[in-house]
Chain A
Amino acid sequence: GAVVSQHPSWVICKSGTSVKIECRSLDFQATTMFWYRQFPKQSLMLMATSNEGSKATYEQGVEKDKFLINHASLTLSTLTVTSAHPEDSSFYICSARLLSSYNSPLHFGNGTRLTVT
């Protein structure tokens, strides 16, 4: 099946620093990747849709200047949390579809646990 690799799996950083999270599709090309965030005991909240070669589409309430998304190739999307603050501590998960058709499931990476001290 489709494999999505996410790195790092966990990171601790100091307030005010930036953190980059990588998401790779290992055995398929993904023109679109989706970035989610999950708070404890809550659902997966879509942050943004990352499109290869173009700007990401952000959901309402998500600061595009704070959560920078780059999708430079068909197999790599990155999320950079800039000037991180403790409230940015969360579980970030990327995902991609094997096929571009709508009836193709999302495959998720293993997530990144970000802790900002």
Chain B
Amino acid sequence: DQQVKQNSPSLSVQEGRISILNCDYTNSMFDYFLWYKKYPAEGPTFLISISSIKDKNEDGRFTVFLNKSAKHLSLHIVPSQPGDSAVYFCAAWDSGTYKYIFGTGTRLKVLA
């Protein structure tokens, strides 16, 4: 039972364009959401987060949008750079079980 879903396993974007990564969740007890970037053979690196009381959070080229009614969040990267090529995981904090739940990841490839 996957409570955090990233339905696109991969995404290719041209350098300079916008990358949009999507994530859906099913549990209304989730109240804090995060995005991580992961290179092969390395641990995930924290990118940006958003609390459920907000609908948008921006940090440089990264913006996270949260639509609580749709139980959907997205990560926008603009402009995309080749160094952004990695696997991106969304995660949610389950305030019912005190655990972070991770999605299955989306592999982003930014083409030069």
Give the interface of A toward B (CB within 8 A): 1, 4, 6, 9, 34, 42-44, 46, 49, 91, 93, 95, 102-103, 105-111, 113
Contact = CB atoms under 8 A, between A and B. Distances in A.
Interface residues of B, number: 23
A1 B48 CA distance: 13
A107 B1 CA distance: 25
Q: Which of the listed residues A1, A44, A110 has the most CB atoms from chain B within 10 Å of its own CB?
A: A44
Given A43-B105, A44-B102, A113 B41 contact: yes
14 contacts: A42-B104, A43-B89, A46-B99, A93-B43, A102-B32, A102-B93, A102-B95, A102-B98, A103-B49, A103-B51, A105-B46, A105-B49, A107-B46, A111-B41
Contact of A108 (B44, B93, B105): B44
A42 B42 CA distance: 14
Contacts of A49: 98-99
Interface of B: 31-32, 34, 36, 41-46, 49, 51, 89, 91, 93, 95, 98-100, 102-105
Contacts, number: 51
**Main secondary structure on A side of the interface with B:** strand
A42 B105 CA distance: 8
Contacts of A109: 43
Contacts of B103: 43
